[in-house]
Chain A
Amino acid sequence: MVSELINANPIVYEKKERRARSAPSDYSDEYAAEPIDQQEVFDHVRDIKDPEHPYSLEELKVITEDAIEVDDVQSYVRVTFTPTVEHCSMATIIGLCLRVKLLRSLPSRYKVDIRVAPGSHASEASVNKQLNDKERVAAALENPNLVDMVDECLAPSYG
């Protein structure tokens, strides 16, 4: 167990204001599924708690709305996150949290890619490869300790 936090003094940013979704004015389309957009995906992940600090990924600017690419027609999402420090060993945990939250929140037709922002991490290629290896992710999620950690980070994001 590491006694010191990886990043003891993170910079905390103000949260972006939450825009209310406007109701569709066309009532005949009441049952039509609304296309999933950048804001919706951001809403799913913004409140995920950082594994080390009592702040959300949004507050630490680990994830921003602009760093989410969505193509609803292609059922594709790519999330780019920026760890707070270059050697952050929590990067894979954060990536796993993002993946699990989106797995639980998006329709199963969605293909999700998660990556660290280019240049933001010392082991960028290695972290990205792990996060996008479905088999490795599946095995990790069978580890109860890891699942507990992930669930703890995800708890505030279900509001």
Chain B
Amino acid sequence: MELYEGGCELKLLETLAGHSDRVWSLAWNPATVAAGTPLVFASCSGDKTVRIWENTPSHSASWTCKAVLEDTHTRTVRSCAWSPSGKLLATASFDATTAIWENVGGDYECVSTLEGHENEVKSVSWNASGTLLATCGRDKSVWIWEVQPGNEFECVSVLQGHTQDVKMVQWHPSTDVLFSCSYDNTIKVWAGDDDDWQCVQTLGEPNSGHSSTVWALSFNAGGDKMVTCSDDLTLKIWETDNIQMHSGDGYAPWRHLCTLTGYHDRSIFSVHWSSEDIIASGAADDAIRFFVENRDGLVDGPTYKLLLKKEKAHDMDINSIQWSPGEKRLLASASDDGTIKIWELASL
């Protein structure tokens, strides 16, 4: 069903309390949808724990906390990511480690701890096939780990290049190309194989890049577009040539497509591109915004417009916003106020 400006609303389905400190990040388990089992997501917090939440099957608007992963990280857990199979959960912490958890009959066990970063680990991401893991942190480096049998992880590359704190890493949805964004205002693209990885492109101010810290990035389903969000109060859309990307070279350059400016008053911490091409942003002004491509007007090339703005979505900064996998337009947001909210974007 088409959504148009003024024709939709963001309905709050539930507010989930439980964490005793700010919630930094959340991640939906990608496997539950295909399996026909209830939706599950993980959240991580300044309270040093990770919580697993499950949708109760009988009542679609009801969520319960199925597990609390504690006594492992000794500092804030900043980010979490499920493996594509949904069987493993990686959690990145300010304690400089990344923990790998396995769901063993409802209980989550920490099966591996990845060490190496010199200080706070800020983000973790699995590649599309689940064979590689990437982490990044304040030590300015990006690490690539190979997943081996028996839940063993081998570091195959430590990538230097960013000149400051790296805030997030994200693998491309269909190729083994890694993207990182940083306090140094740039986005870097890394390609390679085995233990030979290089920075193949840097998207900075000369390429119409951001003028302050880049907090997050998200790809569209096809992987030919990406959106980045920044402390400079803008969202930027980038595109690449998909055919070239999937050809033998495995990598194609990215170029700036457009900048969404004037919509946000404070830092934008999170952005997520849905499977239906609705871009959701979560910001430090407590608001959630939705953007879609602007199909009217006579402009060269695509532009984007604001579909909906939900002010005071939370009482404090929104740190993470993620669309759920699956059919419904469900999304979850995490905030400094310690809560997670489940929303549905519905037509009026």
Binding site for B on A (CB under 8 A): 108-109, 111, 129, 132-136, 138-139, 142
Contact A129 B284 (CB under 8 A): no
Q: A108-B337, A111-B285, A142-B94 are known contacts. Are A134 and B317 too (CB-CB below 8 A)?
A: yes
Instruction: Report the minimum CB–CB distance from A113 to chain B (whole Å).
Output: 9
The chain A residue with its CB closest to the CB of B269 is: A134
Chain A residues with CB under 8 A of B180 = none
Q: A108-B337, A142-B75 are known contacts. Are A135 and B316 too (CB-CB below 8 A)?
A: no
User: Mask for B134-159, Cβ within 8 A of A = 1, else 0?
Assistant: 00001000000000000000000000
Chain A residues with CB under 8 A of B120 = 139
Q: How far is the CA of A129 from the CA of B138 in the complex (A)?
A: 15
Chain B residues with CB under 8 A of A108 = 315-316, 336-337
Contact A129 B266 (CB under 8 A): no
Chain B residues with CB under 8 A of A142 = 75-76, 94
Q: A111-B266, A142-B94 are known contacts. Are A135 and B167 too (CB-CB below 8 A)?
A: yes
16 pairs, CB–CB < 8 Å, chain A vs chain B: A108-B336, A108-B337, A109-B315, A111-B284, A129-B213, A132-B231, A133-B213, A133-B231, A134-B267, A135-B78, A138-B22, A138-B94, A139-B76, A139-B94, A139-B138, A142-B94
Contact B212 A135 (CB under 8 A): no
Q: How far is the CA of A136 from the CA of B212 in the complex (A)?
A: 15
Chain B residues with CB under 8 A of A109 = 315-316
Q: A133-B231, A136-B138 are in contact. List 13 more A-B contacts (CB 8 A).
A: A108-B315, A108-B337, A111-B266, A129-B183, A132-B231, A134-B267, A135-B167, A138-B22, A138-B46, A138-B94, A139-B119, A139-B120, A139-B138
User: Mask for B184-219, Cβ within 8 A of A = 1, else 0?
Assistant: 000000000000000000000000000011000000
Contact B317 A138 (CB under 8 A): no
For the complex of A and B, the 5 pairs showing the least CB-CB separation, nearest first, are A139-B120, A142-B75, A139-B94, A108-B316, A142-B94
Q: How far is the CA of A52 from the CA of B323 in the complex (A)?
A: 49
B122 within 8 A of A: yes
Chain A residues with CB under 8 A of B315 = 108-109
Chain A residues with CB under 8 A of B46 = 138
Q: How far is the CA of A155 from the CA of B120 in the complex (A)?
A: 29
The chain A residue with its CB closest to the CB of B213 is: A133
Contact A138 B76 (CB under 8 A): yes
User: Mask for B105-122, Cβ within 8 A of A = 1, else 0?
Assistant: 000000000000001101
Q: How far is the CA of A142 from the CA of B78 in the complex (A)?
A: 13
Instruction: Report the minimum CB–CB distance from A40 to chain B (whole Å).
Output: 21
Q: How far is the CA of A129 from the CA of B231 in the complex (A)?
A: 10
The chain A residue with its CB closest to the CB of B312 is: A109
Q: How far is the CA of A142 from the CA of B266 in the complex (A)?
A: 24
B176 within 8 A of A: no
Chain B residues with CB under 8 A of A133 = 183, 213, 231
Q: How far is the CA of A135 from the CA of B181 in the complex (A)?
A: 14
